[in-house]
Amino acid sequence: MASTVANDANLAKVAKQNHAMGWVRGFVTSSIGAKYVMAASGLALVGFVLVHMVGNLQVFLGWEKLNAYAAFLKSTGSLLWVARIGLLVAVLAHIVSGLRLAYLNKQARPVRYRKQTSMHTNVFARTMAVSGLIVVAFIVYHLLHFTLGVTNPADYALEDPLGRHDVYSMVVRGFQQPLVSASYIVAMALVGMHLSHGATSMFQSLGLNHPKYNSLFSKVGPAIGVLVFLGNISMPVAVLLGFIQPR
């Protein structure tokens, strides 16, 4: 068959698009592909946040349980690192893609309306980038506090009677300081806000929208948001009120 110049150009374009790196890059930078990146990384982060919370709630069961759990996590060795790297990749993809989209979306409306009236969206949806960024700042502080012990070296060095890293005492001593507890509580409010839109929005981004399930999807975000907020602040609140006592 005779091939025209235009056709040859098209075929060259197709070949380029079908080259692996070509299409992967094209996909993740497209407006819809970026949505999948946000939703998939967001889903991984939600999964982590829930598991992390359930694990930490063992602080209510006493120091033996919590310290044994911490020792168990440490003992998984390379598996722990697989999870950490996976999380890091998800967080980086989420932040880079989220900030890039926030920037491009600003560019898409260079002149703003003098008057604009919201008809459906809410404040949580509109503040995703802000709530997300504050949460990142908190995550950095949280890692310096409990994971690396930079902000509290004395508490971090504690050992329990079995010679294990005394996570229980470190957490209790941390939360006994009202300012530290307050920063955790505020951060959890922001995570709750972020998830109350994000964990519902995720379904639509992944292409899941069905009249039979939409009312369920619309409740998942607020439910996870409230659950994560209440579950996590229960720990600093219980320490401050004296329900959780030092070892």
- Residue 160: how many CA atoms within 13 Å on its side-chain side? 19
Closest approach of Cβ 99 to other proteins, in Å?
12
Stated as kind and residue range, the H or E segment containing 208 is none
Q: List residues bridging with 159 in a β-sheet.
A: 165
Taking the CB of residue 12, how many other CB atoms lie within 10 A of it?
A: 10
The option from ligand HEM, other proteins, none interacting with 45 (CB < 5 to 8 A, set by class) reads ligand HEM
Rounded to whole angstroms, how far apart are CA atoms 236 and 247? Answer: 16
- Coil, strand, or helix at residue 195? helix
Site map (CB under 6 A) of ligand HEM, residues 17-46, x = contact: ------------------x--xx--x--xx
Site map (CB under 8 A) of other proteins, residues 126-165, x = contact: x-x-------------------------------------
DSSP 243: S
Closest approach of Cβ 126 to ligand HEM, in Å?
9
Nearer to ligand HEM, 94 or 173 (CB): 94
Q: Which one of residues 152, 170, 196, 198 is an interface residue with ligand HEM (CB under 6 A)?
A: 198
The 10 Å CB-count burial string (b at 16+, else e) for 116-140 is: eeeeeeeebbebbbebbbbbeebee
Contact set for ligand HEM, span 77-96 (CB under 6 A): 91, 94-95
The option from ligand HEM, other proteins, none interacting with 95 (CB < 5 to 8 A, set by class) reads ligand HEM
Nearer to other proteins, 97 or 169 (CB): 97
* Phi and psi based region of residue 207 (left: phi greater than 0; alpha: psi -120 to 50; beta: remaining): left
**Do residues 132 and 197 lie in contact, with contact meaning Cβ atoms separated by under 8 Å?**
no
Site residues for other proteins per CB under 8 A: 7, 10-11, 13-15, 17-18, 23, 26-27, 30-36, 101, 104-105, 107-121, 125-126, 128, 201, 204-211
